[in-house]
Amino acid sequence: MKPIDDNETPDDFTDEIDEITADVEEEDFDIEIEIKRKRKSRGGVRRTTGKEYGTLLSFIAWMAFTIIWLFFFASGYGLIENIAVVFVAFLVVGAASALVWIPRHEGLRVKASAISGIGWIVFLILWIVFAQGYFGLYENIGIALASLLVVGLLNMLLHVPGHGDEGGARISGAAGILWLIFIVLWLPFSNDFATTVYFITFYQNLAIILGSFLLMTFIVIAPWFGKMQISVNESISVGNRPKGTLGIFWGWLLFLVVWLWFMADTYTANQNVAAVLLSFAVFCGIVMAFWLPWARKRGEGPESWFSIGLSFTWVIILTIWFWFFADQFDAYQNFAVFLVSLLVIAGIAAGAQWKKYRDFEAMDWTD
């Protein structure tokens, strides 16, 4: 074996150096060509695109509109109104430019979303300047929120697919947004409806709100109703209990709607509170009875029947109080009674838990 001298370079290493040098020279050559090409392109004249011409013409059109408006029409309006008109015209020009400059590969949905956002701002400005004086504060807030929700609904319909699971999400989302639009418009305009269209009482107004909520939840859950399954383990299935629980909840809401619309006006406010409390206790009892057999099959169940019974007892006591005695006292006194009953029930429950804990500690653990 012949040792290699320190000043002597192997042939393979020399060839590798030559290849690296050639690559570097080639890269330097390519870089020089690129620099020359860039310099040449800078010296040339760049053609103006149609988009730039369109943007310039739209700006000129806005200036022309502003001049014509100020010369012929502005004197008939106030300062704020004229500023609003000019600014709205500028937003319209901006919307047109946005349509031109948004790339084609983004699609029409992105353009529609941009236009809807600008359109909402235009509507809001025009409404505040020219129409808000005909309505009250809460009505104007409701109209502004409703218009924003309409824009959100439009964008949701544009971007959420209408097939498969996404189609169900589209239906659910649309139902939820439409319900919000109804609520933000109904709350400020319900009094006008009662005085001009059909007279309704306070309780009937609540019935309409609850009924709309019931309808909304039904539409939102309808696309997923057949797929509602809860898998705990393979041996014991929950069956149709989730659907049944939902049906019981809808039944309870329907009872409240019927009570508020047809019967609530014949009773006092405290008695209506008692009716709602009692119906809620019945609802919870039915749901518990519905799920208890399944829990027992799995070897589970409530940790403390005493606490559950105590809760039902408290609700029954409050129901009796509000139905028979609460009208003899004012709202503050009834609230005080509620707090006292809550503290008593909490004290009894805490005492029971403490006794259970003491009994647990008293057990003989030496074995």
Per domain, the residue ranges of the chain are 267-358
Cβ atoms of 257 and 213 within 8 Å: the answer is no
CA distances from 112 to 102, 155, 308 (A): 11, 8, 55
Query: Tens-digit pLDDT profile for the chain (367 aa)?
Result: 444 454 544 555 555 555 555 554 554 445 555 555 655 555 554 555 677 887 888 889 999 999 999 999 999 999 999 999 999 999 888 888 877 777 777 777 888 888 899 999 999 999 999 999 999 999 999 999 999 999 999 999 888 876 666 668 888 999 999 999 999 999 999 999 999 999 999 999 999 999 999 999 999 998 887 776 666 555 556 777 888 889 999 999 999 999 999 999 999 999 999 999 999 999 999 988 888 877 777 666 555 677 788 889 999 999 999 999 999 999 999 999 999 999 999 898 888 777 766 655 555 545 5
Its pTM stands at 0.75
The SS3 call for residue 76 is: helix
Q: Vertex 326, ends 320 and 328: CA angle to 5°?
A: 135
Residues 6 or more apart in contact with residue 230 via CB below 8 angstroms: 238, 241, 242
Cβ atoms of 92 and 125 within 8 Å: the answer is no
At 198, which amino acid appears? Y
Q: At what angle do helices 107-126 and 79-101 cross, to 10 degrees?
A: 180
Q: At 267, phi and psi to the nearest 5?
A: -125, 165
Residue-by-residue DSSP string for 6-35: TT---HHHHHHHHHHHHHHHHHHHHHHHHH
